[in-house]
A and B are shown apart, each in its own frame.
Chain A
Amino acid sequence: MYVTGSSARAELAVANLRRICEQELSDQYELRVIDVLQQPQLAEDEKILATPTLIKELPPPLRRVIGDLSDKEKVLLGLELRSAEPRRSESAPPSPPATEPR
């Protein structure tokens, strides 16, 4: 997750993301928060424009979600961790439980 400094928006986004991960992925996640002010070259390499930007590297496919992540359902959809159609969940490999029955 790329954020700008310790702005309110950055903190909100990080908090939102942690909550989603805790709720949906239990502890099967690895989150790295990068401050673009400290490491602009990383942002350059990844061609990041907006902050906060969340990049989901694993499991594939690679997905990007920008914003403060205030809408949990949209985040899960965007990351393809929860598919709109249930059958898609079967194709989500390999490890973390991609979907949970509500």
Chain B
Amino acid sequence: MTPPTSADVVQKLPTGMPSFDVIAKGGLPINRTTLLSGTAGSGKTVFAVQFLASGILDLDEPGVFVTFEESAADIRANMKSFGWDLAAWERAGRLAFVDASPDPNIEVIEVGSFDLGALLARVENAVRKVKAKRVSVDSLGAIFSQFSDQSIVRRELFRIAWGLKSMGVTALLTAERTQDYGPVARYGVEEFIADNVMVLRNVLEDESRRRTIEILKFRGTDHQKGEYPFTIVPDGGLVVIPLSAIQLKQKSSDVRISSGNAELDAMCGGGFFQDSVILVSGATGTGKTLTVTQFLDGGARVGERCLLLAFEESREQLFRNAIGWGVDFEQMERDGMLRVVCDYPEVATLEDWLLNIQRIVAEFKPTRVALDSLSALERVGTIKAFREFVIGFTSFIKHQEITGLFTSTTSTLMGGTSITEGHISTLTDSIILLRYVEMFGEMRRGLTVLKMRGSAHDKAIREFTIDKDGMHLGRPFRNVTGILAGTPVHVSPGDLERVWSQIDDEASKRPRAENGPERRRGDERRGRR
């Protein structure tokens, strides 16, 4: 076994669609044919045009578009909405159409055997004319319907695929399929014509559409496996959301930043880490939006730009509430320290939201981003789409070295975890729980830092109050147990003593564990004596 030399390795052609190149691990295999199969409306034509557009715009690689389905005029018109001026590229000699769409005015009769030599000659002619490096053929299925003798078409498609290779171009061929999960393509031969196969899907799941792209095979070279969500945006065409690009390679900062509340900072062992993601979970009214408000205020005060993505409350509500806690959002906005994006989550799909947010972040360049709440976004898409959104979002803000604070709403008032948490808790660096605690006929609020990746933190559940200056953390709930489970039980001080002393006894039998809380618990116990 000798390692392959560079001549053996299949070279790839960067498509100029960065998000796609990530999952294709560099691009489409160069000088080969790639089949792109998908159901109606899955985005095949957009991809096929974008493949050429990216080459023309970004990489100075002219292209040829062979259309069997829509007329060239239709495609020119349709692609205008993506900002692609095909006609201008044609005039500049950078793009050529081979219009092989059926002409309803021409009736064709087949008598005896034939070949598609004229088509091949036209493609060759066009490739020569613009010195094309890329060819898109859209779509193979449509050529079958133009001729009655299918076996001839089959044979000729092989010849065309072979012809494309000998022209030295990288070709993308599209094909229809009837089902999102079924045979690769309708006529059962398309996948054998091409070296590589990719599939676009547009699946209806829980009443929402989910677009994905999957690379089935790249002959002789590597690619990312599985389905990747993508979306089609007006000024960018098809954008893949590459989840696996999210290698855990973000450098992790040990710089601490303030949560905007000194007492909470102390509980976290000195503040949040820069470029960490913090989840604040609690029932409605426990103080999640307050935590967000303080976080933004804390950032603005030290000159950090903050972005608030609010999906639950209106702008007016948010601003009024903030005033109630002594924070002036309006002033922060005027100073350019704050931007508030306030919308119903339903106005876009999760994929679109992710791209929107990325665009806003790229433009505003905040160092803090708060999202209130993830639970509101969760109802927009499927569980899978939501997970992917959170993965994409967290990795994005980490790459940008932004601190992210998300909230999630628990479904029950007392205790409980939200579905949101179940999906994303492993993705977050810190988790703060806000809980109602019922004590002697009174609702009080408790806060605990459940997780603080890479740092010691206060493990107590502390009571907190809210007034016009915001949140005030108080003493731990000492003689209450079961708060997080939602079933607070009061324990008499005597019982508590006994429990602590047992723990201390056990701890003294083995080498003493060097972690803070146990010692502190001991201190607290001694302090109470």
Contact = CB atoms under 8 A, between A and B. Distances in A.
A51 B147 CA distance: 13
B114 A36 contact: no
Contacts of B103: 47
B111 A49 contact: no
B112 A69 contact: yes
A52 B109 contact: no
Please report whether the interface of chain A is mostly helix, strand, loop or mixed according to DSSP: mixed
Interface string A81-100: 00000000000000000000
Interface in B121-172: 121-122, 124-126, 143, 146-147
Given A49-B119, A66-B108, A66-B109, A44 B125 contact: yes
B290 to A, nearest CB: 68
A37 B112 contact: no
Contacts of B107: 63-64
The winner among A16, A51, A53 for most chain B CB atoms within 10 A is: A51
B121 A4 contact: yes
Contacts of A53: 114, 118
A37 B124 CA distance: 9
A78 B118 contact: no
A99 B118 CA distance: 31
B111 A9 contact: no
B110 interface: yes
Nearest to B108: A64
A47 B72 CA distance: 12
A66 B121 contact: no
B106 to A, nearest CB: 6
A50 B98 contact: no
Interface string B401-418: 000000000000000000
Nearest to A69: B111
The winner among B99, B107, B121, B125 for most chain A CB atoms within 10 A is: B121
Given A49-B119, A50-B116, A51-B118, A66 B111 contact: yes
Contacts of B124: 40
Given A43-B121, A64-B106, A49 B112 contact: no
Nearest to A53: B118
A80 B115 CA distance: 23
B88 to A, nearest CB: 20
A3 B106 CA distance: 19
A50 B118 contact: yes
Interface residues of B, number: 26
A6 to B, nearest CB: 12
Interface in B464-508: none
Contact of B118 (A2, A70, A74): A2
Interface string B88-117: 000000000011100100111111111111
A68 B113 contact: yes
A9 B277 CA distance: 69
A67 B110 contact: yes
B501 to A, nearest CB: 91
Interface string A31-42: 000001100110
A48 B125 CA distance: 13
A78 B147 CA distance: 15
B118 A64 contact: no
Contacts of A13: 112
A44 B122 CA distance: 6
Contacts of B146: 49
A70 B114 CA distance: 11
A43 B118 CA distance: 6
A57 interface: no
A68 to B, nearest CB: 4
Contacts of A77: 109
A12 to B, nearest CB: 8
A27 interface: no
Given A4-B115, A47-B99, A36 B121 contact: yes
Contact of B122 (A5, A36, A69): A36
B109 A74 contact: yes
Nearest to B113: A68
B48 to A, nearest CB: 19
Interface string B157-189: 000000000000000000000000000000000
Contacts of A48: 118-119, 122
B109 A51 contact: no
Given A40-B122, A41-B125, A43-B121, A51 B115 contact: yes
A47 B100 contact: yes
B111 A78 contact: yes
Contact of B111 (A44, A47, A51, A71): A71
Interface in A1-29: 2-5, 7, 9, 13, 16
A5 B112 CA distance: 18
Given A40-B125, A41-B125, A62-B106, A74 B111 contact: yes
Contact of B112 (A2, A4, A63, A67): A67
A5 B108 CA distance: 22
Contacts of B125: 40-41, 43-44
A75 B108 CA distance: 11
A49 B116 contact: yes
Contacts of A2: 118
A76 to B, nearest CB: 10
Ranked 5 nearest A-B pairs via Cβ: A4-B117, A40-B125, A78-B109, A67-B112, A68-B112
Given A4-B121, A66-B110, A77-B109, 7 more contacts: A3-B117, A50-B147, A64-B108, A65-B108, A71-B112, A75-B111, A78-B109
14 contacts: A13-B112, A16-B112, A36-B122, A40-B122, A48-B118, A50-B117, A50-B119, A51-B115, A53-B118, A63-B107, A66-B108, A66-B110, A66-B114, A67-B110
